[in-house]
Amino acid sequence: MAVFYVTTPIYYPNAPPHLGHAYTTVYADILARYHRLRGDETFFLTGTDEHGLKLQRAAEKRGIHPKEFVDEMVEKYKWYWSLLDISYDRFIRTTDEDHEEVVEWALRELWKKGLVYKAKYAGWYCVDCEKFYSEGEYEVVEGKPYCPIHKKPLEWLEEETYYFKLSEFQEDVERILSSGDRVYPKQYAGEVLGKIRDEGLRDVSIARPRERVWWGIPLPWDPDYTTYVWFDALLNYLTGAGLLRDPQRFQRLWPAAHHVIGKDILWFHTVIWFSMLLALGLEPPRKVLVHAFLINRGLKMGKSAGNVVWIEDLIERYQDSDGLRFILARIFNLHKDIEVSTELFDSIYNADLADNYGNLVRRAGTLVRRKLSGTVEGRLDPKIDEAIREAVKGYEEAMEAYEVSRAVEAVMGLLRRANAYINETRPWELADPRDPLYSVLEAVRNATILLHPVIPKATSRVAEALGFTLSYEALGVPQESYTVRDAPILFRKVKRGGPSP
């Protein structure tokens, strides 16, 4: 049995998720649903990254414990993900007990192997950011380093910390990135390799003094230090697969691990993550799937850029989660940034969902009910048969290559063909419209199965109304007859104006 393990980054819950988070998460969800539909053993992991200074401070500001703060935020994340029909198998939290066990285990392993050591860290530090700035990151005012955010002088700070010997893994990481196909699209592996060649790999700090950052997992051999949040966070992928508590499951899942990430965290998910895994004696993940950004008004969407688009506004505009899920799938791009706009979203929704799919379902269902009292048997037109085969093939190839938008496009091609066919054959004028209507229903059935991972609600409704099952094995195998119970209106067109993203 094929196995598919897919993860999203665990999100930092200092604010609720926005469209950028939805973009990543819906994509991972579509891959998970596709593999489940195919009958693969599938495990889909998402969650939250709950330690660190930012959350400690956000909680302090409100006078509550950070755990209380993140508990509240986690409920918000879960609420959004249920709104979007995200079918995760586990929502992991870095405060989960089994995760803390994994982090402690990993730290001990590296410590035992001599891959972690204590040394002095010195650098320019901003007290307000609580962050070190290296050359090139800070601003220089009258020859002195200034914080780029607070516009005040940085302080020279020296402190002892623990380092992970990242430098030892440079050759291995270069070999993996240049020979394998673990990073998709390949261009991103090239970017990382370029950066390694320019800068080399320097050892990285994996701890923070407890007096500054107490909200974290203590180092097992030195409780005066807490684990730096990224080190803690990356390990969630091992916890989720059952590393310590279910080694058998881990053995099955880990070789099938697919990490979906945005390109901003590429370095962490390749150089640092691969090195950590090698240090722990584990294989790198099967695949790191890297996507480009959503751009709004010229900037990457984010809290700090102030150009966030809210998920609930879009669900309201497109009436249901399916509308938004479909739009995100249709624009999904691993290779280049996508500019979002109401015009783009409306046109996708109206043209593809309301017209191409929704209208065809409505017309075919209505005609079968009116002309044939709801039951149809017939011969499949070879032209439609060919269009179905072509769509299934194109869809499958695209999905296996993680190109969700191309897979959706293959289905849209089939639906356009079926719409043209209904106009050409004019079944409403025929004395015996059985063959053309049967052929149209066959196109609708196959398209609906293929779209199920993208728009689970609408496709379930169509399957029930037209009388077929959403079974992947039934693709390309003509169904003997249809009993149409209903001709639902799936998507109502949106008009200009109204709430906009």
Residues in contact with Zn ion by CB under 5 A are: 126, 128-129, 147, 149-150
Residue 156 C-beta: closest distance to Zn ion, Å? 15
Query: Is 451:423 a contact under the CB 8 Å cutoff?
Result: no
Reported as half-sphere exposure (CB side, CA atoms, 13 A), residue 208 has a value of: 21
Closer of 150 and 297 to Zn ion (Cβ): 150
Answer yes or no: 18 catalytic. yes
492 — phi, psi (to 5°)?
A: -90, 135
Distance CA 422, CA 486 (A): 19
3-state SS class at 114: coil
Going by DSSP bridges, is the β-strand pair 294-296/287-291 parallel, antiparallel, or unpaired?
A: unpaired
Residue 136 C-beta: closest distance to Zn ion, Å? 16
Tokens coding 24: 């990543």
Residue 52 C-beta: closest distance to Zn ion, Å? 16
Residue 53 C-beta: closest distance to Zn ion, Å? 13
Distance CA 328, CA 330 (A): 5
Closer of 149 and 351 to Zn ion (Cβ): 149
Cα 471–Cα 377–Cα 38 angle in degrees, nearest 5: 10
Residue 200: Cβ-neighbour burial (10 angstroms; 0-12, 13-18, 19+): exposed
In the set 51, 99, 147, 287, the catalytic residue is 147
Residue 359 C-beta: closest distance to Zn ion, Å? 55
Query: Is 229:216 a contact under the CB 8 Å cutoff?
Result: yes
In the set 126, 269, 287, 452, the catalytic residue is 126
**Positions of E strands within 21-154:** 41-48, 90-93, 116-126, 131-133, 139-141, 144-146
Distance CA 277, CA 234 (A): 10
In the set 150, 186, 335, 383, the catalytic residue is 150
Residue 155 C-beta: closest distance to Zn ion, Å? 11
Nearest CA to 103 among 93, 117, 88? Answer: 93
Residue 150 C-beta: closest distance to Zn ion, Å? 4
Residue 127 C-beta: closest distance to Zn ion, Å? 8
Closer of 153 and 488 to Zn ion (Cβ): 153
Closer of 128 and 171 to Zn ion (Cβ): 128
Residue 227 C-beta: closest distance to Zn ion, Å? 23
In the set 112, 152, 303, 335, the catalytic residue is 303
Query: Is 346:356 a contact under the CB 8 Å cutoff?
Result: no
Distance CA 22, CA 310 (A): 10
Closer of 150 and 202 to Zn ion (Cβ): 150
Nearest CA to 441 among 379, 392, 355, 354? Answer: 379
Closer of 68 and 139 to Zn ion (Cβ): 139
**How far separated are the first and last CA of the chain, in Å rounded?**
42
Closer of 85 and 130 to Zn ion (Cβ): 130
Answer yes or no: 147 catalytic. yes
Distance CA 206, CA 267 (A): 16
Going by DSSP bridges, is the β-strand pair 287-291/41-48 parallel, antiparallel, or unpaired?
A: unpaired
Nearest CA to 374 among 466, 479, 480? Answer: 466
Nearest CA to 296 among 343, 329, 262? Answer: 343
Tokens coding 341: 């706009």
In the set 18, 51, 165, 291, the catalytic residue is 18
Closer of 149 and 380 to Zn ion (Cβ): 149
Answer yes or no: 393 catalytic. no
Closer of 148 and 499 to Zn ion (Cβ): 148
- In eight-state DSSP terms, residue 153 is B
Answer yes or no: 258 catalytic. no
Torsion 24-28-30-31 (CA) sign: positive
| Catalytic residue positions, numbered | 18, 21, 126, 129, 147, 150, 300, 303
